[in-house]
Amino acid sequence: MKLQKTTIAAVMILTSGLLLSQDRFDMKVRNYFFAGLAGDAASLQKGMKICEDILAKDPKQPEALVWHGTGLVSQSREAFQKGDQKNGADLWQRGLDEMDQAEALAPNDLGVRIVRGSVLLIASQYLPEEASHPLIEKGLSDYEKAYSVQGPDLGHLGTHKSGELMIGMADAYARLGQQDKAQQWFERIQKELPGTPYATSAATWLETKTLAPRQAGCLSCHTGAVDQSK
């Protein structure tokens, strides 16, 4: 399985804008995970260790579970790339199970739902269709939850965060064959985010009814410092 390095970048951007708590768990670990995804194995291990220490005291701490699951998914990518299919498959499944367990424990916690949704929607882009659909459905449900909490007006989130949420939902609807809903969201992106990469992707889908993975999310992410202000 080929899982791109954009996964946790998308998690970081979305969580920074959509979560409301002043004592956010993601602030404690996300930079470690982001650096780890960029190739710093020591940073990834630091992030995983923070989660593991918390889980040793409370195995049902949902945010620690969802981030640890994200780390396992990232580690599975490395294993697959090295040709270690057995270990890669084991890490992948454990990661999915931990993220699902976190959601079951805290279904209304955006600190869980956005993290899982970001990972699943991006990962699903690199799987065969029959394997991708369950992940798309779960990821879409996470984004729909975030949208229901934020309300219909996403303007307060800024271009990047509202764009990532909207295009994630639009592309998910399209890949599930819900073309009418997809069209509504892509048209909304064009209307509310003109002149942005999101509007460009929306125009592409409206013309061709398909998007490449690189056009469907994390459109302003890069591998350096991330501007969280937009």
Question: What confidence score (pLDDT) does residue 25 get?
Answer: 77
Domain 7-215 has CATH 1.10.3470: no
Residue ranges per structural domain of the chain: 7-215
pLDDT score for 63: 93
- CA 127 to chain CA mean position, Å: 15
Write the pLDDT tens digit of every residue in 53-109. Answer: 999 999 999 999 999 998 999 889 889 989 999 999 999 999 999 999 999 999 999
DSSP state letter for 213: G
Helices 110-124 and 129-150 pack at an angle, to 10 degrees, of 150
- Torsion sign across C-alpha atoms 54, 59, 65, 71: positive
pTM (2 decimals)?
0.86
Give pLDDT < 50 ranges for the chain.
21-22, 222-230
